[in-house]
Structure 1
Amino acid sequence: MNHEVHMSKKILIIDDDPDIVSYLKDVFDEAGFTTFVASNGVEGLERAQVHRPDLITLDMDMPGRGGTLFYVKLRQEPSLAEIPVIVISGVGPRPPAINKNVPVLSKPVDPQKTLALAKEMMGA
């Protein structure tokens, strides 16, 4: 196996729906990114601290205000505050806690659009 040694960008996918997770993972993996997965905000924060992703996709419709809480905590942490976030949401208006310049994609997710946006936000 010949692996090119290039730093591939890392994406953290936070969603409690396994179908969405595996779908996004496939989209990003095929594009050559390294992906990590978390099924809730608490796990997401831990993964973010460990892996220092270049981008986070965040589901808002997780139990326990998962998305909003995660976002607020992420931004409070100096080492993580600069990581770009794409919110992926099935329903409703933009949560007030989410910064205006954070893009919100609605489900079902368009793979091309998601990928283009991810690359743009990571400067990849």
Structure 2
Amino acid sequence: MAKKILIVDDDPTIVAFLEDLLRDHDYSTCAAHSCAEGLEKARQEKPDLVLLDMEMPDKGGTMFYANMRKETEIRDTPVVVVSGVGPRPPALRKGVPTISKPVDVSLLLTTVAERIA
């Protein structure tokens, strides 16, 4: 069974790119375009990994991450930040990899494979 990855990003172009890339490498995907939608999808879909953008219009990735970590069912889901935002916000735990946009495809695939194993 393919590992499921939740993409949380407000940019439809980035979401489509990541979905195509991940599906081409035998991952299953689902997507959310906001913090609130991302939390709901994470609860419903129980993904094996979350790719998280930090800068979104309603509440940013930091709030998504903080709220996700409060929920027993999804708190241990690995997260990889994929964002154009600079340094990692302090709310993110050490060990959460950050990949800058534009995305280095090789680095992303390697990081996903390491975190989802």
TM-score range, shorter chain: over 0.9
Deviation per residue, 1:52-83 (Å, 9 max, x gap)? 00000000011133201100010011110110
Report the equivalent of 1:72: 66
Distance of 1:91 and 1:49 partners within structure 2 = 26
Distance of 2:95 and 2:59 partners within structure 1 = 20
2:30 is the counterpart of 1:28: no
Tell me the SS of whatever aligns to 1:12. strand
Name which of 86, 90, 104 aligns with 1:92.
Answer: 86
Q: After alignment, is 91-100 or 9-18 more displaced? A: 91-100
Counterpart residue type for residue 6 of structure 2: L
Instruction: Give the fraction of aligned pairs with identical amino acids, expressed as a percent.
Output: 50
Tell me the SS of whatever aligns to 2:85. coil
Report the equivalent of 1:3: none
Counterpart residue type for residue 122 of structure 1: I
Shift of 1:88: 1.0
Aligned residues: 117
2:57 is the counterpart of 1:63: yes
Report the equivalent of 2:41: 47
Spell out structure 1 runs of 4+ moving beyond 3 A.
none
Query: What do you get for the CA RMSD once the two structures are aligned?
Result: 0.8
Contact between 2:34 and 2:59, CA under 8 Å: does it hold in 1? no
Tell me the SS of whatever aligns to 1:108. coil
Unaligned segments of structure 2, at least 5 residues: none
Shift of 1:110: 1.1
Contact between 2:23 and 2:29, CA under 8 Å: does it hold in 1? yes
Report the equivalent of 1:16: 10
2:100 is the counterpart of 1:103: no
2:31 is the counterpart of 1:37: yes
TM-score normalised by structure 1 residue count: 0.91
